Chain A
Amino acid sequence: MADIGKRNGLTAVLDTFGTKVFRMVEHLGNIFILLLQCLGWLFRPPSEIRNIVKQMEEVGINSMPVVLVTATFTGMVLALQSWSGFQRFQATSFVGSVVALSITRELGPVFAGLIVSGRVGASIAAELGTMKVTEQIDALVTLATNPVKYLVVPRVVASTLVLPVLVIMADLVGILGGYFVSVYLLGANPYVYTEKTFQYLESWDIYSGLIKAAVFGFLIALISCYNGFIAEGGAEGVGRATTRAVVASSMAVLVSDYFMTSLMF
């Protein structure tokens, strides 16, 4: 008897797991379809330039302060940590290189991506979700406007373009943060530190980070728009869509980061 109970428990678990996997595959398929629609509408008139500019402002201004603060402290803590680690084998002169490379190649884009997932992903999903449940998206459709063209394309384009810009600034303040901690708090030689910062830094390190950022921006906007579009059932549904958008886009950032890194280097 107990055995049967156990087996039923197990099948039940497998069952729900199976349904989850199935759903996930379905969502991925739908997101891919949304992507194709997006590309299809991208260059079709009327142009959404004004809308795109508005969204760029929104994305940029929304996320800039948090991205900058995060990047500064990331640079600072990185300097602190690597300093205390490198002290063990008298390599503290390399702290500048470590900070510059880690920030530009990895931490700048990834942290910016995660923060934008939280800020922009949530606001996109909440806005589109609300529009969905209050029939505003249906209303758009009846006013001769395709919602993918009007709502998704501008957000995806804006966020793809703005994220690299945010990351350039994040790189800059992150490296400055590291410099500040090393030179003023840990007593590094400013000239050596600056030299080491740029000695091993190649332009590809920076470009690769910016490419990553563009991909993150693209994924975040696409995933969040999708989650907004499938919201159902009032305020609670909008809340669920928002949470899902943030979780899914953060995951997309980390997963795609791994694969891009493995392709790039």
Chain B
Amino acid sequence: MIEIRGLKKSFGVKVVLDGVDLTVPRGKNTVVIGGSGTGKSVLIKCIVGLLRANEGEVLIDGEDVTKMDERELVRARRKFGMLFQGAALFDSMNVGENVAFALRRLHLYPEHQVRDVVEEKLAMVGLRDIQHLMPAELSGGMKKRVGLARAIAAEPEILLYDEPTTGLDPIMADVINELVISLRESLGVTSISITHDMASAYKIADHIAMLYKGMIVEVGTPEEIRNTRNPVVSQFVEGRAEGPITAEHEDFIRFVHRSGETGMQGGR
């Protein structure tokens, strides 16, 4: 179980997370949605302790990650698998070595089995016979899937997916959706996924949470989110250009126009 309470994170004066509260029950998948740059990636980095939160708690099975020192974190992180938004494959290693990385570090399998285990993990994300390729030789979507295979390789209890289906074709996106669901159902993995893809969100989520202006503005089942009355959430899930999220933006544009005009009048 993951419990986030009052999580705050700023970079200098810029406040990104301003008191996030979110609970992900054991064995469930919560999808976090929200506009670009609202801090979704920052949120999951705070959960694994890659970024240190300024305030608040992140409890993993009751243990507070934000209070741990580096050595305790190393132990706590064994529970996690994480897919990075940019895949973050090690570019000095080939695909096989990338996927096998945690297996070898933790000596989970004898060396002669590693190759087969890796091939199996790659098959789960719809890839075959690419262990010898270097990351530079892969397409964007392939990198993403290799990153996913690497994240699930050591069979973690908790998985954090940063946009698992972005950049994939619709068929592959659905393969990944099915994979996320099956990891949850067969292995009981607790997970947080970030996505912009509402079709995928509705499909894989037990709960959907919307991050807006540094806070979770609504959490609900896919059904509840679809029928939400919160104007911010409904604008986002329906993907409308007009609504409260963009209103500020429009005000700003109008403001710029107006000050431009007055500027010109002043010049005359």
Contacts and interface: CB of A to CB of B under 8 A. Distances in A.
B154 A144 contact: yes
Given A135-B88, A136-B88, A142-B151, 4 more contacts: A136-B90, A138-B88, A139-B88, A143-B150
A13 to B, nearest CB: 25
A142 B77 contact: yes
Interface string B195-238: 00000000000000000000000000000000000000000000
B86 A135 contact: yes
A144 B106 contact: yes
Interface in A92-148: 127, 130-131, 134-136, 138-146
Interface residues of B, number: 26
Nearest to A37: B70
A144 B77 contact: yes
Interface residues of A, number: 16
B105 A138 contact: no
A142 B50 contact: yes
A46 interface: yes
Contacts of B81: 142
A135 B92 CA distance: 14
| Among B45, B82, B88, B150: residue with most chain A CB under 10 A | B88
Contacts of B50: 138, 141-142
B194 to A, nearest CB: 14
B161 interface: no
Nearest to B153: A143
Contacts of A140: 90
7 contacts: A46-B107, A127-B92, A136-B89, A139-B150, A144-B106, A145-B101, A146-B70
Contact of B105 (A135, A136, A144): A144
Contact of A143 (B70, B92, B105): B105
A139 B90 contact: yes
Contacts of A142: 48, 50, 77, 80-82, 151
A146 B74 CA distance: 7
Nearest to B151: A142
Interface in B42-93: 45, 48, 50, 70, 74, 77-78, 80-82, 84-86, 88-92
Contacts of B77: 141-142, 144
A145 B105 contact: yes
B102 A144 contact: yes
User: Interface majority SS on A: helix, strand, loop or mixed?
Assistant: helix
Contacts of A138: 45, 50, 84, 88
Interface string A191-226: 000000000000000000000000000000000000
B96 to A, nearest CB: 15
A210 B154 CA distance: 45
Contacts of B105: 46, 143-145
A233 to B, nearest CB: 13
Nearest to A46: B105
A136 B77 CA distance: 16
Contacts of B85: 135
- List 7 A-B pairs, minimum CB-CB distance, nearest first: A135-B88, A139-B88, A142-B82, A143-B102, A138-B50, A135-B84, A144-B78
Contacts of A146: 70, 74
A142 B90 CA distance: 13
A130 B136 CA distance: 14
Contacts of A127: 92
A42 to B, nearest CB: 15
B217 to A, nearest CB: 28
A142 B74 CA distance: 8
Contacts of A135: 84-86, 88
Interface in A133-168: 134-136, 138-146
B161 to A, nearest CB: 12
Nearest to A127: B92
A155 to B, nearest CB: 13
A131 B86 CA distance: 12
A139 B77 CA distance: 11
B91 A136 contact: yes
A144 B88 contact: no
| Among A140, A141, A142, A145: residue with most chain B CB under 10 A | A142
Contacts of B82: 139, 142
Contact of B101 (A130, A131, A134, A143): A143
B56 to A, nearest CB: 21
Contacts of A130: 91
A20 to B, nearest CB: 20
Contacts of B48: 141-142
Contacts of A144: 74, 77-78, 102, 105-106, 154
